[in-house]
Amino acid sequence: MHRLDVTPAGTRIMRHLLTYDMIEAVHRSGSIRKAAEDTNITASALNRRIQAFEEEFGSEIFERLPRGMRLNPAGELLLHHIRLQRQDLIRVHSQVADLSGVRRGHVKIACSQALLPYFLPREISKYRAEFPDVTFGVNVRDRIQAEQDLVTFESDLALVFEPAHMVNFEVLHAVHQPVMAVMSAAHPLADRKTLRLRECLEYDLVLPARQFGVRVLLDQAAARFGGKLEPALETDSFDMVRHFAAYGHGIGFQIPVGLNALARPDMSFVPIAERDVAGGELYLGHLKGRTLPVAALKFANQVMTALS
């Protein structure tokens, strides 16, 4: 009997709300038989529908008169509710359409610390310039936590340098990141095109904490020549790295994606030779097997372009 999936008014037919539509039809026409014509069912079925509803509702909603029916006060209160909820459902449908159209949504990202200062702010700003109703959540996660975040749905996307393992990780994009030495522009090594690791050992070292991918790579490189790195300072804050390098004449380390290449005339960034420190991979991905929300997928595409 329901051959259309859209009402004459253009809204989708929601079967559970047909009774509401029928109540309103009877109210409008003032009679079961007229409303039955308008809704294309028999007066008999319509009458039973109204009666069944009144039974459930626990109260009559119409007065029965010799020449038709009229909403009683209870019915008038109910009609108001009917109209409110119809409007609200239209609102929800509109929001859902926004979701599927990329215009609205919430994207949750787990990322390595290096992505925080420049890369992600820039990409998010770019995306939101086009889709201002998309909101973001960004959580710093280390190489173990990032994957966990995906599994527990705390995050839709992960952007992580040298993750510990990638069992549940579907890789969308990977980009190689060499390890850069970070120092004052006045540093004796500042004008070099590349550095050997052992050249750095002659200066104070500022190292990331052990949970960071860069630290792992540096420790691995030191193990290869039978030594151990002795940091003057160990920190999980890249701002601390930067300040110490700038004012204490030390050397810190960071991957290129964490450096603002254009903005620091008082700082110098020189790559460490790959034969000493092999560099690592920065991965963009999501939970294996999951279908991403549209906005998250589109943002991921934008990030892939930026990483290429």
Partner DNA sequence: CAGAGTGCTGCAAAAAATGCATCGCTTGGA
Partner DNA sequence: TCCAAGCGATGCATTTTTTGCAGCACTCTG
**Which chain residues interact with DNA by CB under 7 A?**
1-2, 15, 18, 26, 31-34, 40-45, 47-52, 64, 66-69, 289
In angstroms, what is the minimal distance from the CB of 115 to a second copy?
24
CB-based burial of residue 38 (10 Å sphere; 0-12 exposed, 13-18 middle, 19+ buried)?
A: middle
Closest CA to 128 of 138, 139, 136: 136
Q: Both tokens of residue 26?
A: 């009877």
In whole angstroms, the minimum distance from the beta carbon of 299 to a second copy comes to: 14
- Tell me if residue 6 falls in helix, strand or coil: strand
Q: Which two tokens stand for residue 14?
A: 């929601």
Residue 32 Cβ vs a second copy, minimum distance, rounded to whole Å: 18
Distance (Å, rounded) from C-alpha 251 to C-alpha 270?
10
CB-nearer residue toward a second copy: 92 or 174: 92
Of 95 and 220, nearer to a second copy (C-beta) is 95
Smaller CB separation from DNA, 1 or 261: 1
Q: Residue 88 touches which of DNA, a second copy, none (CB < 5 to 8 A by kind)?
A: a second copy
Residue 85 interacting entry, from DNA, a second copy, none, C-beta within 5 to 8 Å by type: a second copy
Q: How far is the CB of 186 from a second copy (least distance, A)?
A: 52
Q: Work out what residue 69 binds among DNA, a second copy, none; the CB cut-off runs from 5 to 8 Å by kind.
A: DNA
The span from the CA of 267 to the CA of 246, in Å, is: 7
Question: Running DSSP on this structure, what letter comes out for residue 258?
Answer: G
Footprint on this chain of a second copy (rule: CB under 8 A): 5, 12-20, 52, 56-59, 63, 65-66, 70, 72-74, 77-78, 80-81, 84-85, 88-89, 91-93, 95-96, 99-100, 105-106, 153, 289-291, 293
| Nearest-approach distance from CB 145 to DNA, in angstroms | 18
* Strand ranges in 68-223 using DSSP code E only, listed in sequence order: 68-71, 105-111, 134-140, 157-161, 169-177, 180-184, 205-208
Query: Measured from the CB atom, is 45 or 89 closer to DNA?
Result: 45
CA distance 129 to 213: 32
Cβ neighbours, 10 Å, residue 279: 18
Shortest distance (Å) from residue 12 CB to a second copy: 6
